[in-house]
């Protein structure tokens, strides 16, 4: 820990970044990390599925396109939550307990959007697994980077070959986007929607304002 890190007895803040593929989550998490570090805060950037040795192994299986059998939707759901349980226990909870700000690329809103709205699994079932895996850990704030599906897709495709999720049809991604928008409507104080279709400088101006607001109130 560097000398200029602000020491605090307070529990850290858990901030999640959500949205469809290619909307700019990774790019903007790095931007937010720098902003927060400039305020002397200890920041941990992590991602889901993944973020620990075991959870990264699960991620690899979830994204792999070359299994000879189709992964069932329930298997996919259980793997996502298995990775999450490990991530919370091994990384997120210890970091929050020591006062760190945790910035996480995707969390349970992605499960609701992809496995719930996208695959059509029951939201009640997701809620039950959430209770088991999360043990009360909830994001303090969520930035939903929202853009029309075709914009995110073209940004993501310019980056490399598609993974198992990226091979889905347009309909699937439109349902996923609707899922995220419906979560934002249901939890207006936690979820802040950012227009990710704007040029990057405008997205980051909006995030800068939102982070400054968060710093005032946390």
Residue whose CB is less far from ligand Z5A, 42 or 48: 48
* 105, β-bridge pairs: 17, 47
8 A C-beta contact, residue 90 and residue 122: no
8 A C-beta contact, residue 96 and residue 14: yes
Q: Could you tell me the smallest distance in angstroms from the CB atom of residue 196 to ligand Z5A?
A: 6
Would you put residue 160 in left (φ > 0), alpha (ψ -120 to 50) or beta?
A: left
- In angstroms, the CA 82 to CA 50 distance is 10
User: Cα torsion at 57, 73, 70, 83 (round to 10°)?
Assistant: 0
Would you put residue 81 in left (φ > 0), alpha (ψ -120 to 50) or beta?
A: alpha
Count of residues interacting with ligand Z5A (CB under 6 A): 25
Site for ligand Z5A in 50-109 (CB under 6 A): 80, 105-106
Can residue 42 be called a binding residue for ligand Z5A (CB under 6 A)?
A: no
Can residue 21 be called a binding residue for ligand Z5A (CB under 6 A)?
A: yes
Can residue 130 be called a binding residue for ligand Z5A (CB under 6 A)?
A: no
Can residue 177 be called a binding residue for ligand Z5A (CB under 6 A)?
A: no
Contact region for ligand Z5A (CB under 6 A) — 35-43, 126-134, 153-161, 185-193? 153-161
Q: Could you tell me the smallest distance in angstroms from the CB atom of residue 202 to ligand Z5A?
A: 8
Binding letters toward ligand Z5A, positions 131-150, x by CB under 6 A: --------------------
Q: Could you tell me the smallest distance in angstroms from the CB atom of residue 129 to ligand Z5A?
A: 11
Encoded tokens for 194: 């950012």
Can residue 159 be called a binding residue for ligand Z5A (CB under 6 A)?
A: yes
- In angstroms, the CA 121 to CA 55 distance is 22
Taking alpha carbons only, the member of 80, 71, 63 closest to residue 162 is: 63
Q: Which of 111, 133, 144, 146 touches ligand Z5A (CB under 6 A)?
A: 111
Backbone angles phi, psi at 157, to 5 degrees: -65, -30
Tell me the three state secondary structure of residue 90: helix
Q: Could you tell me the smallest distance in angstroms from the CB atom of residue 166 to ligand Z5A?
A: 5
- Residue in the shown chain whose Cβ atom is closest to ligand Z5A: 24
Q: Which of 12, 14, 15, 23 touches ligand Z5A (CB under 6 A)?
A: 23
8 A C-beta contact, residue 201 and residue 24: no
Can residue 165 be called a binding residue for ligand Z5A (CB under 6 A)?
A: yes
Q: Which residues bind ligand Z5A (CB under 6 A)?
A: 21-27, 48-49, 80, 105-106, 110-111, 114-115, 155-156, 159, 165-166, 196, 199-200, 203
């Amino acid at each position: 820990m560097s000398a200029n890190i602000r020491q605090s007895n307070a529990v850290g803040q858990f901030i999640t970044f959500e949205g469809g593929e290619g909307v700019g989550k990774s790019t903007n998490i790095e931007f937010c990390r720098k902003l927060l570090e400039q305020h002397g805060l200890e920041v941990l950037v992590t991602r889901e599925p993944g973020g620990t040795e075991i959870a990264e192994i699960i991620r690899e299986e979830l994204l792999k396109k070359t299994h000879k059998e189709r992964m069932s939707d329930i298997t996919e759901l259980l793997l996502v939550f298995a990775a999450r349980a490990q991530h919370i226990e091994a990384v997120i909870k210890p970091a929050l307990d020591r006062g760190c700000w945790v910035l996480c690329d995707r969390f349970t809103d992605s499960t609701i959007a992809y496995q719930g709205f996208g695959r059509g699994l029951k939201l009640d079932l997701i809620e039950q697994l959430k209770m088991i895996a999360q043990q009360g850990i909830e994001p303090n704030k969520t930035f939903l980077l929202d853009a029309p599906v075709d914009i995110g897709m073209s940004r993501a495709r310019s980056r490399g070959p598609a993974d198992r999720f990226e091979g889905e049809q347009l309909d699937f991604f439109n349902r996923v986007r609707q899922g995220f928008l419906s979560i934002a409507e249901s939890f207006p104080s936690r979820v802040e929607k950012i227009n990710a279709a704007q040029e990057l400088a405008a997205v980051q101006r909006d995030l800068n304002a939102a982070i400054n607001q968060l710093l005032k109130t946390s």
